[in-house]
Amino acid sequence: MTRLSDEILEAVTAAIGPASEPVPLHRPFLPPATWKYVKACLDSGWVSSGSSVSEFENLLAHTTGCQRVVAAVNGTAALEICFRIVGVLPGDEVFCPSLTYVSTANAISHCGATPHFVDISKDRLSICPEALQNRLAEIVKPSPSGPMNRLTGNRLGAVCLMHCFGHPGDLDPIVAICDRYELPLVEDAAESLGSFYKVKHTGRFGRVAAMSFNGNKIVTTGGGGAIFTDDDNLADRAKHLTNNAKVSHPTELRHDEIGWNYRLPNINAALGIAQLEMLDVLLKAKRALAMKYLEMFQNIDRVRFIKEPVDSESNYWLNGVIIDDCDKTELTSTIGTLAVAGFQCRPAWEPMHKLPMYSACPRGSLTLTNSIHDQILCIPSSANLSPDWNKLTEKLSGTKL
C-alpha cells in the first residue's frame, strides 16, 4: 500500500504537473496592464493620495454590488475600523472563530476588546450557527448597554464571521442570530473577493466587512485592504477615521478627533486596478484548478478536497484537503514529502486559543476546531496553475514598459 503522503503527492502532480521549479502556495498574477496604471501614477507624482484610490474603490463597489467602499492600508486595519464603527468598545467581547488568521483576533484586540471564540462547522470551516446560538444561550444576559456575558460581566460587542479560504460562511442563520441578539455582524471577507453566498457577494451581509489585498490574496495591491458597507453613515465614519479624522476644508488643516493614518497609498491602489479588471479570468482559472484537484483527489481514502458549500459560489482562493484522522506528525511529514517534490504546502493556522496572547480568552466548546486544524492541508493555488490558464489569458492586452 502506498503511503498517504505519496498518494497526495501523486494527486497534486496529476493536477498541476511536476514542479520544474519550486511551486509556491500562492503567487499573485500581475497582468500586463498593471504597468500602465502604475506608470500613470508615477508620472503624476501623486503616489500617496490620488485618483487611483477612488478608481480602485469604485471597481470594488462595482464588483461586489456594495454601495460604499473605503480603501485602507491593509486588511487588518480595515477590520479594526469595522469593529470601531459598529460600536465595539474597550472591554467588550467579540465572537469570532479560533481557526482564522491572527489578524481577526488582533483587530478585535486593537479596539481594546477581547475575542470570544466559537466553534466552526465542518462543511464551511467558518463559525457554526448552532455553536454560536448555544454559546449565546449559555452566557447572554440583557443589560441597558446591550447584551452582556453574565460569566465575565463584559458587554458583547459584535460577531465576526470569517469566510475561510474564500468559501462563504453560513450567512443566513448567522445573520438571524445576530438580529435576534442585537449584535452587529462584521464579516472578515479578507479572503473572499469574488465569492457569493447564494446570489449576493460576501461582505454584503454584515453591517460592515473588511477585505485584504495582501500579496497572497486573489487580488493584491502589495499591501492593502478595504471596508465595505451599504450604510452611508458608517462609510463616512470609516473614511474619516482612516484619514486621521481630517475635516474637509478648502485651506485649513483641521482634525476633530483622534484618528488613524490607515489610507491606502495611491501607488498601491494603482497596482490593484488591472487585476480587478480581469477578476473574472482569475475566478475562472481558480475554479478550473479546483475542479482538477477535486477530480484527482476523488479516489484517495481519508482525503476530502474542500469544496464550495452547495448554496454558494466560492472564489477558491486557497485550495485545501481534509485528511481524516491525521495528526500533526503525519501532516508535517506529508508537507515534507510535498516540499521535497517542489510543492509548497501549508497547514491551517494554529488556532487562536492555542497562541499565548489569546490562550485565556473566553470560548465556547471548540471540539471541531481542535480536531480539524491538524487535518487541513493547503495546496498550491495560484491562478496560473490552472489547466485553463493559457486559454484564459491569451487575450490579455498591455505590454511591459
Ligand X SMILES: *Cc1c(COP(=O)(O)O)cnc(C)c1O
Q: Using CB under 6 A as the criterion, which residues of the chain lie in contact with ligand X when the complex forms? A: 74-76, 79, 100-101, 103-104, 162, 188, 190-191, 212, 214, 225
Which residue, 75 or 129, is less far from ligand X as judged by CB?
75
Question: What is the grid cell recorded at 154?
Answer: 463584559
Instruction: State whether the Cα torsion 165-168-169-174 is positive or negative.
Output: positive
Q: Report the alpha-carbon distance of residue 89 to residue 179 in Å, rounded.
A: 19
Grid cell digits, residue 15: 493536477
Q: How far is the CB of 57 from ligand X (least distance, A)?
A: 16
Q: Which is nearer to ligand X, 149 or 221 (CB)?
A: 221
Nearer to ligand X, 101 or 297 (CB): 101
Judged by CB, which is closer to ligand X: 93, or 191?
191
Q: Which of 348, 350, 367, 369 is nearest to 358 (CA)?
A: 350
Minimum Å gap between C-beta 249 and ligand X is 31
* Nearest residue (beta carbon) to ligand X: 75
Nearer to ligand X, 209 or 274 (CB): 209
Q: How far is the CB of 190 from ligand X (least distance, A)?
A: 3
Nearest distance from residue 305's CB to ligand X, in Å?
20
Residue whose CB is less far from ligand X, 7 or 191: 191
Q: Which is nearer to ligand X, 149 or 242 (CB)?
A: 242
With respect to ligand X, which residue has the nearer C-beta, 225 or 380? 225
Q: How far is the CB of 214 from ligand X (least distance, A)?
A: 4
Comparison of 103 and 202: residue with beta carbon closer to ligand X: 103
Please identify, using beta-carbon distances, which residue of 103 and 381 lies nearer to ligand X. Answer: 103
Work out how close the CB of 74 gets to ligand X at its nearest, in angstroms, rounded to a whole number: 4
CA 138/CA 131 separation, integer angstroms: 11
Q: At closest approach, how far in Å is the CB of 248 from ligand X?
A: 27
Q: How far is the CB of 98 from ligand X (least distance, A)?
A: 12
Q: Supply the minimum distance, in Å, between the C-beta of residue 185 and ligand X.
A: 15
Handedness of CA 382, 387, 390, 396 (dihedral sign): negative
Q: Which residues contact 97 (CB under 8 A, 6 or more apart)?
A: 104, 117, 118, 119, 120, 126, 127, 161, 162, 164, 352, 369
Shortest reach from residue 158's CB to ligand X, in Å: 15
